[in-house]
Structure 1
């Protein structure tokens, strides 16, 4: 059993979906499939039950999970221990992030940074992406994790990933079981995030491009509040795909969005251009790079593997069917 295989097992157990697990692990879907099958051959048993829509751990897979987590935790602690005794780092680090980014575990990253550099005083704030970009540009933050592509030319930015946005409705909404067009969204009541959130700008631009007017009846700054308001019928919402997969959205109906004017939701790490690699901010980004390494050798090694039948995100985690929002 190899270290990377344990990462893949945990990613697949968490996502229950080969495409999303591959994105999480930084490997091609075929590479992930090949690595899992190789491990199953080595152990002589199936670790996951595969269907065309979902993947579930078998009893053997569930038995492996705690050991896989322990192996990765011990490896991370070993690396941090070596760095801690070989690189004495002091100073301060100011970090910001938009809530619930999905593509990066900010809390886990800060935990590892603190464990590796315990003498660095770390401050963390949550805010909307546009406010975070301005704070980095003004020198108020050393690193920020944002979900916008606006005004990034003046800062260093490293894209961490992207995903589509989807439309959420309550089961009782008139559009819940139809295939709504953009024109059918004209005048609908919406729940959306505040103006400083990246997804709000993305939504506003998409509606403007399609010439559709909407009413934002509820403006929030919390993901779970948004989902609760949609569930209670106070409006419909457009959110990043991973938000629609949250347990709190299980009762909601998800519709795919189509059209050239619908841009992907993109997450990036940003920092001032004058930042140095030997300062805490540079070291945080270095640690982030370790966590998000693409593992090209693993992709190459798995390129001949058989691809799993699931080649796109499953239509919806909820029982009712999802409609496609046509142009």
Structure 2
């Protein structure tokens, strides 16, 4: 049994596809298939069920997968130990980024800079996108760590280190009829035109879930994948929004009105996969983030 065989099996399991696994491993699909077949032959057990359209783990495959992950992690850690003896930590961390307010203690750019200063031999590869996609990439092993903003119901399979938690509020222009209220209920907002984020953003997930729990629907007039533009549409009276006040920086024309009992909450967090052991570089990056958060700088 070879490490390349184990890695091929894990990647196929993560991707649920030999084609996507081959692209990720940068080899031809036939090579991945042959490698996994050889591993199954050596183990004397079928690990994957192959059909025309699907690849699924067999019962044996489900038992073997966590052990395979641990084996790969142990081999990687052994390499990192030797690399440190030769002159410092080396390797790569795949980090997922989202649009983040400038005033957070652990801002992505500041984190990468602080980490680079302490670990110049590690490459930090960044990928931008929505929290939902980052969460799926973490679960499938495509990312090591990611900044996410997700409601609790969307965090299955992840471990979170929370950087900041906020109650979401109604954002409206200062001259909106609701702007003088001390709070507002979701039922009062069903006729309002909404400015919203894309479906892959945690903000959208939380708001949709809050309206669904209340048995209410609303009209989304604008869907914007950029925080500055999102805020501008509210500023220019084109709609209202539900979001954390951290979305709004120095916008005197916009008011934040607390929501009632149905107010959703959002946490900005660093997420790691629950069942994928972290590499030494990823562990070091998470430690730098913790130290920055605890020191408040």
Structure 1 residue 114: deviation in Å?
A: 1.1
Looking at structure 2, the residues matched to 96 and 199 of structure 1 have their Cα atoms a distance apart, in angstroms, of 17
2:245 is aligned with 1:241: yes
Cα distance per residue 1:92-114 (max 9 Å; x no partner):
11101221154631110111111
Looking at structure 2, the residues matched to 86 and 252 of structure 1 have their Cα atoms a distance apart, in angstroms, of 55
Cα distance per residue 1:103-142 (max 9 Å; x no partner):
6311101111111111212111221111110011111111
Equivalence for 1:265: 266
> In 2 relative to 1, CA 198–220 (structure 1 residues): closer, same or farther, beyond 3 Å?
same
Give the number of equivalent residue pairs: 208
**Structure 2-normalised TM-score?**
0.64
Looking at structure 1, the residues matched to 96 and 143 of structure 2 have their Cα atoms a distance apart, in angstroms, of 7
- SS of equivalent to 1:147: strand
Equivalence for 1:289: 290
Cα distance per residue 1:190-226 (max 9 Å; x no partner):
0011001101111111122223321111111111101
Match of 1:253 among 231, 235, 255: 255
2:207 is aligned with 1:203: yes
Give structure 1 stretches of 5+ with no counterpart: 1-83, 296-327
Equivalence for 2:88: 88
Equivalence for 2:194: 190
The two structures, once aligned, show a CA RMSD in angstroms of 2.4
Match of 1:275 among 274, 277, 280: 277
Looking at structure 2, the residues matched to 145 and 120 of structure 1 have their Cα atoms a distance apart, in angstroms, of 19
Structure 1 residue 241: deviation in Å?
A: 2.3
Give structure 2 stretches of 5+ with no counterpart: 1-83
Contact 1:187–1:213 (CA under 8 A) maintained in structure 2: no
Equivalence for 1:81: none
Structure 1 residue 182: deviation in Å?
A: 2.8
2:216 is aligned with 1:212: yes
Looking at structure 2, the residues matched to 150 and 103 of structure 1 have their Cα atoms a distance apart, in angstroms, of 25
- SS of equivalent to 1:184: helix
2:172 is aligned with 1:143: no
Looking at structure 1, the residues matched to 168 and 87 of structure 2 have their Cα atoms a distance apart, in angstroms, of 42
Structure 1 residue 292: deviation in Å?
A: 2.1
> In 2 relative to 1, CA 88–160 (structure 1 residues): closer, same or farther, beyond 3 Å?
same
Equivalence for 1:69: none
Contact 1:193–1:219 (CA under 8 A) maintained in structure 2: yes
Looking at structure 1, the residues matched to 289 and 92 of structure 2 have their Cα atoms a distance apart, in angstroms, of 17
2:126 is aligned with 1:124: yes
- 1:32-181 to structure 2, matched below 5 A, reads 88-100=88-100, 102=104, 104-148=106-150, 149-178=152-181, 180-181=184-185
Contact 2:149–2:267 (CA under 8 A) maintained in structure 1: yes
Equivalence for 1:230: 234
Looking at structure 2, the residues matched to 264 and 227 of structure 1 have their Cα atoms a distance apart, in angstroms, of 19
- SS of equivalent to 1:125: strand
> In 2 relative to 1, CA 87–286 (structure 1 residues): closer, same or farther, beyond 3 Å?
farther
> In 2 relative to 1, CA 293–178 (structure 1 residues): closer, same or farther, beyond 3 Å?
closer
Looking at structure 1, the residues matched to 105 and 190 of structure 2 have their Cα atoms a distance apart, in angstroms, of 31
